[in-house]
Chains A and B, each alone.
Chain A
Amino acid sequence: CGEEFLEITPQGSINTESFYKTEEEVEQALIATYDVLGHQKGVGLPYAPVILVSDILSDDAYAGGQDAGDGFDENELNTFNIPTGNQIVRSLWKRNYWGIYRANFTLEKLAELENASEAFRTRIEAEAKFLRAYFHFELVSLFENVPVMTFAPKGIEASITPQSTPTETYNQIASDLVDAIAGLPTSVTGSELGRATTWAAKSLLGRVFLFRDGVYNQNMEANGTTIDAAYVLAELEDVINNSGHDLLPDYATVFSNAGEFSIESVFEISYSDDPPRWEWGNEERVEGNLAAQMMGPRALQENTHYRGWAFGTVSHKLYQDMTGDPRRDLTVLHESNIGGTVNKTFQHTGYYSNKYSTDLESQGTSGQLEHNNTTNERIIRFSDVLLMAAELSQNVNYINRVRQRVGLSDLTGYTDDALFNERRMELSLEGLRYFDLMRQGLSVAENELTVQGIRGPEYVDEQALYDVTFNPATKGFLPIPQDEIDLSNGVLTQNEGY
């Protein structure tokens, strides 16, 4: 037989080298990057929705799960006894590096693309950089010492990259966001809802800066420009004044279906039952919101809620702290408000999240029940933008705007305490609390996160299971996943405290 007998090419699949030759095809690489936003786990690893994990780390929620085994890995995080081999930690790490890879891959394919319009280039590049910054920020805020990746490695060896200093990482994030701000559109509508806007990038820059400033007390640098408080405040005020975003009139609407992609959403991660999914095992391909499924109560009858898994049971501390605030019952779901019977589970507190849950409105219409929850994640809300601006400007009016919406009286003067209290009332169970504590300093964090002897009336398990001691030696960061250290052959090094 001649050579041609062996010359066969894959049928039924398309070779990467012959793809990404048109604008539409390169845009598909960008869509794949957005897709990772919706991944709530790393491929082949356990579920790790960052909203749930960070709330479990915080004083607002416990591990939960059906029993101690179900919530085993979560409880290691909850109690800060985090072995370096914890697979949730690795899952968080992997999700974000996959996102970064795809962003870089998009940028590289865009650069190779001939015959693309300038407008297309500008926008795709800006979106890819926005997403790259988003994933890097999630990494640096969880792990601190992470490799910055600005290229799509070809192969395993090329992917092994030493850790950058936090300064390098924050500067890269700032540079990407400043570039994104310049190139992103000012509005998206219809089938583009959910794609990044310049307002989303400005607001994200605010969040990044506040964390950088709070934890390190340092500015950032973007392509030679210093990103300081004034720079960021100007960007946030631009969002407040010019974006068209505003608060919804009714707080209760924010987390209902009507609140999705609303005027209040500056950036949102989209979940849906389209296309519906059935299979277990590749849940990163699922379009539904696993965090909502995980945090939902184990309701036996589907009167108000369908069956969730009761992870991240909400603490009595949060319930108590929100006493008197009109937002409490919209934030914390008390078991008495769930129709029918609720299975008591590990670390049963009687409280669940009311923001991300298995309420019937969010149930998918097709596919495996657990994989098709349609609740979007409100990543940056306009109220958060107001509170960030308040924090930077020390202008109490921004806080009052948030308070007025829920019918609370105005505060007369700005204090950090009032600001952080307002953030807790407004933004609890949205995955921000833990980072808000970290940026207030380790002593504040230790004080709040170490919870001993606090017990709610509906708590079921022994007290010891609700006691948590923060480990300040880690500065609140997670361990670099042991497997990643091993796979890097020691190029990666472990964080302090582990």
Chain B
Amino acid sequence: QERTVSGTVTDQNGESLPGVTIREVTTTNGVITDIDGKYILTVSSADAVLGFSFIGFASQEIVVGDRTTIDVSLSEAVGELEEVVVIGYGTQKKKVVTGAIESVSSDEISSTPIVRVDQALQGRAAGVNLTNSSGQPGEQPNIIIRGIGTNGNAQPLFLVDGIAVQSIDNLNPADIESMEVLKDASSTAIYGTRAANGIVLITTKKGQRGGVNVTYSGYKGIQSVSKKVDMLNAQQYQTLMAEAGVLNLAREPFDPNEIPANDTDWQEELFTNNAPIESHSISISGGSEKSTFLSSVSYFNQEGIIGGDKSKFERYTARLNTQSEVNAWLSWGNNFNFSNVKTRGVNSNGSFNGAYNSALNMDPLTAVFENDPSVLTDPTDDYAGNPVVTDSRGNVYAISNNIGQEIVNPLARLEILNFRFNKDQFVGNVYAKVEPIEGLSFKSDFGMDLSYLKFDDYTDLYFLSSTTNNLNNTNLSKQFIRSLTLQVENTVSYTRKIDDHNFNVLLGTSAVKNDSELLSGFGEGVTVTNPDLRYLSLAIDSLERTSGAAWQNRLSSVFTRLMYDYKEKYSATLTYRKDGSSQFGPNNRYGNFMSFGASWFISDEAFFPQWDEITFVKLRGGWGVNGNDKISPFAYVSTIDFDINYSFGGGATRGAIPTNIQNENIQWEESQQLNFGLDAGLFSNRLTATFDYYNKTTKKLLLVPSSIPASAGLNPSFNNVGEVENKGVEMSLEWRDRKGDFNYSIGVNAAYNKNTMTQIDGEGSFLTGSSWALAGEVTRTFQGNPIYTFFGYKTDGIFQSQADVFSHISSDGTPIQPSAQPGDIRFVDVNGDGRITADDRTIIGSPNPDWVVGSTINVGYKNFDLSILLNGLLGQDIFNGINRPDLPASNKQSWILDRWTESNPSTTVPRFVANDVNGNYTRPTDLVNIKDGSFIRMKNIQIGYNFPGSVLERFKCTSWRLYISAENLFTFTSYDGPDPEVGARVFDGNPVLSDRGIDRGIYPQARTFRIGTSITF
């Protein structure tokens, strides 16, 4: 029967705690302590369980029983050490963890409007450099944990409930319970050949015993561009082009005195204001004594700030997780997730067909639309007789008379995009766990990842310019990829405590197989142009093409781990894994990986000074070896390319030649890592601190050299090319405290990394990088320097006079740049041969940040809360390549107005002339292109309100929170491009590391305002 319970809640020092939530577990019945920490609550029966929870304190549950007074002392963050963290194939108490592991909680994951759960790592986990590839919805970010340890794919391995997955854009962030980032080798080595770039363990939410909860969480928001690049307006453009002697497309000079008929701000026209973003998620969870479940559905939709629904991400998910105890020794469970993802995208960072690049380079003299009928019908102009592009109302997009090539009306460019991507994915696992005797458990886990990917494209007839057009025929292409990964894992775990000695032994086997098949079709002459009705059956020209491909890989492993601790004071972990992988040929199929880690809770020692200020100190250390096998399947064999034809008199004759060089000896990238760490709590754990130092060496880097001698006669294949070292420190500090109704925490994390390519194998002395516009390579890796530094010409100011030109002489006294003029760049003759040639190109900057920093601030006052997330990168350069210098008539950033002239002897902006013989703008230089890319960004600020008990009572809910939030509100940077967050472009699901930091007019991050709520019944 009902009874009333009262009491006082205090902290461990006996001070009363106001604002503590007390809830009758499994019901909606609850109350909050008053200013003196007192509470009164009527509960349903003596069996009722009270749950006490308060930010910064360990929660407690107490059975009421006969008592009418229950005083509770909540303990502060020491409790944190009692928390359990997820490690590979198990969990471990934080106090005895020996590795370097970062945890991100579900609250943190759901506080920002992320598409992909990995984006929650940005700013939150020390040593994790997450840079968005661009602001395009759903684009895969670049994640680099502890520096780049590979030339290839540096993404960590993601495991969702133990299943290795290829992508995680299928997950609903609201379904995630926690994410653990395993950074050092002692914690990742259990994943052997896939672990060298770190491991991210994602655990999904499970149901709780007792009652049924329904939670809705969702938000709606609007997104806009936060910063436009300052470009020349029509008058400035016209004046500059006239002065420089640039000609328009009719090969006529610009007239500086003409009043421009148009002054188009292409960025204004291109960006969508108030692009929508929304997310809705409902979950029902609960359970009985023996069995729990969580079932959820969600919808997410985000349109981009460029292109609206041409650049979007849309996702539906449905999840069912259950856990059942069949009897005392057998339990059974599953985690199933189905998702449907639809995306559309624009080229987010391209010199030649980038959506934003066109807007930045397009001349402001051209109008958005051409409405003049006399122009549209003029047979000598571009419009008449050509399939010009129109908007939905039939307005004809204007074609520039001033600039050509790929620089076309950006709105028209968006109009012709019809690419669509659709993915249906099922990821799930079913497991059984048997515990025949206490401490011993067998677990069998069967997992699968089945996905169907569809790529759909349609090309209409169009005419954007005389070089960018499709005049022959419409065509459409479709591709389907079915990919199935099956994983079977069996583990045995035995836990035993003998006196103060705790042991855990794990033995396991794992087998993973992936089979994928591609089917594609192409047809010409499409009869229907409705974008929703484009099927190959409607392509009626006789010419049709089909093609296909298949990939497989297999991974077979055994592994073991021993964990030991004595009184939780000394602990040690030993792991060993043997992996066999079909990625490598018979010569190098198997790899052995091991690690060792230890920790010492030194403050538990008797000799440790008993200062009040120091709550605890723990030392950690570890060493391990792991690998990376992320290359395309069958890279060790050479296959035949049959897409080779030569037309003799009788028509096409098919040839056959190897696709690429055979390298049957390729093997794992092997990474060795040493880690030392210190965890400490001070001032009763109000301040917690973690420091780590690591030294990681990766050998036998795997790479397809992008450039090999032509005499090799074939395309290159994967090769083990060298050795790279990453050394760094990581620290995170958090201060948290409360005063009465007011509580707050401030966390700061920072990581410093130094990356060095210590060795490059083979004949070449460098690794070729990525290119920009027509200037060729602008990144390269040189031995003894970081991976992929910016590569170009070093400058030494600007010639101020002809005398200056003739004083820039080589050792034999001859002028180095004899044809230079005042206002031209003075190049450094790096190799000292008396001339400026391609040989003088050298390292001119680095896209690698020195520091990756983040900060979280949380403030709570009564029912209000405020949180702020900052993230930043410090010390890296950006290659500003948003301009197309090979096209003199391209629009320019307005700093060019400060160009050198006789009356303006500028020392930073060279003269601008049409015939740029000196290469002031066409040569990549530290002066024009390399910019400081450091930034600190207010990633998120959120203010929330939690409705009080009286309101909850009335609406029969247990909690209800409303919030407003803003993302990317401020960015502190000196970079003059649109966005200093310049990630590498993603190719085939793999961020191309050599492309980092090259800004070709990158699709910027949106500034978002949201309103959201989360309510639980």
Q: Give me the interface of A with B, judged by CB distance under 8 Å.
A: 1, 3, 5-17, 19-20, 25, 28-35, 37-38, 42-43, 66-70, 72-73, 83-85, 87, 90, 93-94, 97-98, 100-102, 104-105, 147, 149, 152-157, 159-161, 189-195, 261, 270-272, 274-276, 278, 285, 287, 298, 300-301, 307, 309, 340-341, 343-346, 348, 366-369, 460-462, 464-465, 481-484, 486-489, 491, 498
Contacts and interface: CB of A to CB of B under 8 A. Distances in A.
Contact of B838 (A147, A270, A276, A482): A482
A82 to B, nearest CB: 10
Given A8-B582, A14-B639, A32 B712 contact: no
B251 A461 contact: yes
B650 A193 contact: yes
Interface in B581-640: 581-582, 589, 633-634, 637-640
A156 B652 contact: no
12 contacts: A1-B511, A13-B550, A13-B659, A16-B639, A31-B653, A31-B655, A69-B886, A87-B776, A90-B710, A156-B705, A191-B651, A344-B250
A461 to B, nearest CB: 6
B403 to A, nearest CB: 8
B713 interface: yes
B609 to A, nearest CB: 54
Nearest to B253: A462
B466 interface: yes
Given A10-B637, A67-B889, 10 more contacts: A6-B554, A14-B642, A66-B466, A70-B405, A97-B711, A156-B705, A271-B647, A272-B647, A300-B380, A369-B470
B987 interface: no
B837 A83 contact: yes
Contact of A101 (B471, B659, B713): B713
Interface stretch (B269-277, B762-770, B960-968): B762-770
Nearest to A272: B647
Contact of B711 (A11, A15, A153, A341): A153
Contacts of A190: 649-650
Contact of B247 (A93, A98, A461): A461
B311 to A, nearest CB: 22
A49 to B, nearest CB: 16
Nearest to B556: A1
Contacts of A15: 637-640
B473 A155 contact: no
B712 A159 contact: yes
A310 to B, nearest CB: 10
B646 A35 contact: yes
B950 interface: no
Interface of B: 245, 247, 249-251, 379-380, 382, 385, 404-405, 466-467, 470-473, 475, 509, 511, 513, 517, 522, 524, 541, 543, 548-550, 552-554, 556, 580-582, 589, 633-634, 637-640, 642-659, 661-663, 705, 707-716, 719, 762-766, 774, 776, 837-839, 884-889, 914-915, 922
Contact of A12 (B548, B589, B647, B762): B548
A19 B640 contact: yes
B886 A32 contact: no
Given A69-B886, A272-B652, A160 B710 contact: no
Nearest to B553: A8
Contacts of A83: 837-838
A32 B589 contact: no
A138 to B, nearest CB: 13
A89 B653 CA distance: 29
Contacts of A460: 251
B556 A6 contact: yes
A448 B157 CA distance: 64
A366 B467 contact: no
Contacts of B550: 10-13
A105 B475 contact: no
A68 B1012 CA distance: 54
A343 B466 contact: yes
Contact of B379 (A67, A105, A285, A301): A301
Given A6-B589, A67-B404, A191-B650, A156 B708 contact: yes
Nearest to A372: B472
B649 A191 contact: yes
B649 A298 contact: no
Contacts of B766: 486
A194 B648 contact: yes
B713 A105 contact: yes
B650 A34 contact: no
A29 B661 contact: no
A87 B886 CA distance: 14
A261 B649 CA distance: 8
B648 A270 contact: yes
B710 A42 contact: yes
B701 to A, nearest CB: 15
User: Which interface residue of A309, A343, A460 has the most chain B CB atoms within 10 A?
Assistant: A343
B655 to A, nearest CB: 3
Contacts of A154: 661-662
Contacts of A11: 550, 552
Contact of A278 (B379, B475, B552): B475
B709 A160 contact: yes
B649 A192 contact: yes
A97 B713 contact: yes
A34 B709 contact: no
A67 B662 CA distance: 42
Contacts of A341: 379-380
Contacts of A285: 643-645
B638 A34 contact: no
B711 A275 contact: no
Contacts of A348: 251
A309 B467 contact: yes
Contacts of B472: 366-369
B753 to A, nearest CB: 28
A460 B249 CA distance: 12
A68 B774 contact: no
A192 B648 CA distance: 6
A67 B638 contact: no
Contacts of B589: 6
Given A35-B644, A270-B646, A153 B712 contact: yes
A38 B646 CA distance: 8
B763 A6 contact: no
B822 to A, nearest CB: 19
A307 B719 contact: no
Given A84-B837, A367-B472, A489 B647 contact: no
Given A5-B556, A69-B774, A83-B838, A98 B543 contact: no
Contacts of A153: 711-713
B763 A68 contact: no
Contacts of B707: 483, 487
A13 B656 contact: no
B649 A194 contact: yes
User: Which interface residue of B640, B662, B713 has the most chain A CB atoms within 10 A?
Assistant: B713
A481 B589 CA distance: 39
B430 to A, nearest CB: 20
Contacts of A37: 646
B710 A98 contact: yes
Contacts of A85: 776, 837-838
B405 A66 contact: yes
Nearest to B548: A12
B765 to A, nearest CB: 6
A107 B110 CA distance: 64
A69 B657 contact: no
B362 to A, nearest CB: 15
A15 B585 CA distance: 13
B413 to A, nearest CB: 15
A192 B634 CA distance: 36
A341 B379 CA distance: 8
A90 B543 CA distance: 36
Contact of A29 (B466, B655, B762): B655
User: Which interface residue of A32, A66, A298 has the most chain B CB atoms within 10 A?
Assistant: A32
A48 to B, nearest CB: 12
